[in-house]
């Protein structure tokens, strides 16, 4: 017996976000790396026709709070979180990396469409390999993740 085909509930991945307005929240602690992440995110958003704004915060720990504040405005369909956390000689790395991710996950589980582009790496060289638009282009990847969640919310009519 042949299984019945089911219509996928997932929207098409190459479909542009409809009237999506996205906030990029960038942590400026490593400015040059963040500039590269932001450039990749903006290019990805521009390719889909999504509009966007950018706000800056000092470090990765402030990103979830900034997104929570921005969400209260009701102006944004989704968010792109961008920053860099490089391991140092103390345990501060573990706190910043873990708590910023936890904050973003909590917001996502509350229904916000967030692409997490906070790099957590052991060295500046690793950060450049991931941030570079000719490398892993994690800024674009975070923007694409946010757009995918926006599309899913639109598809599920959870807007």
The CATH number of whichever domain residue 86 belongs to comes to 3.40.50.960
State the Cα–Cα distance between residues 151 and 147, nearest whole angstrom. 6
Q: In total, how many domains does the chain have?
A: 1
Domain that holds residue 140: 21-155
In a domain, 75, yes or no: yes
Asked whether residue 125 is assigned to any structural domain, the reply reads yes
Residue 133 contacts residue 97 (beta carbons within 8 Å): no
83 is a domain residue:
yes
Question: Average pLDDT, stretch 127-150?
Answer: 97
Local confidence band at 122 (pLDDT 50, 70, 90 cut-offs)? very high
Report the distance separating Cα 52 and Cα 44, nearest Å.
11
What is the pLDDT, as a whole number, of residue 159? 72
Indicate if 136 belongs to the active site.
Answer: no
> Which member of 21, 52, 92, 136 is catalytic?
92
Helix (H, G, I), strand (E, B) or coil at 112: coil
Residue 58 to residue 12: CA distance in whole angstroms: 36
Average pLDDT of the chain to the nearest whole number: 91
For residue 2, pLDDT beyond 60:
no
pLDDT tens, residue by residue, 61-116: 999 999 999 999 999 999 999 999 999 989 999 999 999 999 999 999 999 999 99
Q: Are 57 and 104 in contact, with CB atoms under 8 Å apart?
A: no
| Candidate from 20-24, 90-94, 114-118, 141-145 with smallest mean pLDDT | 90-94
**Which pLDDT does position 6 carry in this prediction?**
41
């Amino acid at each position: 017996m042949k299984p019945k085909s089911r219509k996928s509930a997932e929207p098409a991945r190459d479909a542009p976000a409809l009237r999506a307005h996205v906030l990029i929240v960038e942590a400026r602690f490593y400015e040059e790396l963040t500039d590269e992440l932001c450039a990749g995110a903006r290019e990805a958003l521009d390719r889909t026709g999504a509009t966007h704004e950018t706000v800056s915060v000092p470090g990765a720990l402030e990103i979830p709070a900034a997104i929570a504040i921005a969400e209260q405005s009701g102006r944004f369909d989704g968010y792109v979180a961008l920053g860099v956390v490089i391991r140092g000689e103390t345990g501060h790395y573990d706190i910043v990396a873990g708590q910023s991710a936890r904050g973003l996950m909590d917001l996502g589980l509350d229904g916000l469409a967030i692409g997490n582009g906070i790099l957590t790496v052991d060295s500046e060289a690793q950060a450049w390999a991931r941030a570079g638009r000719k490398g892993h282009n994690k800024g674009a990847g975070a923007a694409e993740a946010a757009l995918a969640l926006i599309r899913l919310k639109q598809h599920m009519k959870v807007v």
